[in-house]
């Protein structure tokens, strides 16, 4: 399992972003270098509060859940991702990928989304 990133940088107004110099290794290690560099330069900061928000409802309690565990993810520990998926009762797909799995493995991610959509449509017809 890859080491988890500690390369988030805070802004003065409460947002965080990945250190551009570490972005490729932490977010998109399986992407072409030019693409990872572009993404590092164009990333948008995320509200730091989002990481500590308390949820009052979780859709996975009432709806079918699907998850992709990216085994080379340094932004979200793969073991934590597995634990969350198990807790939610998710159908899990495991891919050897970075956090940018949707970019490095678009067909595999699309198959998971299509499977989930078909399952929900089938439930709606019952």
* Domain locations along the chain: 8-124
Q: What's the rounded Cα separation, in Å, for the pair 113 and 111?
A: 5
The answer to whether the CB of 36 falls within 8 A of the CB of 48 is: no
> What pLDDT, on the 0 to 100 scale, is given for residue 6?
78
CATH code for residues 8-124: 3.40.50.1820
Phi, psi for 89 (deg, rounded to 5): 70, 30
pLDDT exceeds 80 at position 31: yes
Phi-psi region of 14 (alpha: psi -120 to 50; beta: other; left: phi over 0): left
| Tens-place pLDDT, residues 67-122 | 999 999 999 999 999 999 999 999 999 999 999 999 999 999 999 999 999 988 77
Q: In the numeric block, which tokens belong to residue 49?
A: 């509060």
pLDDT exceeds 80 at position 3: no
> Which string of b and e fits 79-91 if b means at least 16 CB within 10 Å?
eebbeebeebebe
- pTM, to two decimals: 0.84
| Tens-place pLDDT, residues 32-48 | 999 999 999 999 999 99
pLDDT exceeds 90 at position 51: no
> What pLDDT, on the 0 to 100 scale, is given for residue 124?
61
Instruction: Give me the mean pLDDT over the 41-65 stretch.
Output: 91
Q: In the numeric block, which tokens belong to residue 98?
A: 């970075």
Q: What's the rounded Cα separation, in Å, for the pair 81 and 73?
A: 10
Q: What's the rounded Cα separation, in Å, for the pair 83 and 68?
A: 12
> What pLDDT, on the 0 to 100 scale, is given for residue 107?
98
């Amino acid at each position: 399992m890859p080491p988890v990133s500690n390369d988030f940088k805070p802004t003065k107004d409460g947002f965080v972003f990945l250190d551009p110099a570490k972005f490729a290794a932490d977010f998109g290690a399986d992407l072409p270098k030019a693409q990872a560099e572009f993404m590092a330069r164009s990333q948008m900061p995320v509200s730091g509060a989002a990481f500590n928000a308390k949820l009052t409802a979780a859709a996975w309690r009432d709806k079918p859940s699907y998850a992709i565990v990216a085994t080379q993810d340094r932004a979200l520990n793969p073991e934590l991702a597995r634990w969350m998926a198990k807790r939610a009762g998710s159908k899990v797909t495991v891919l050897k990928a970075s956090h940018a799995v949707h970019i490095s493995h678009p067909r595999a991610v699309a198959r998971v989304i299509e499977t989930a959509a078909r399952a929900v449509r089938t439930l709606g017809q019952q």
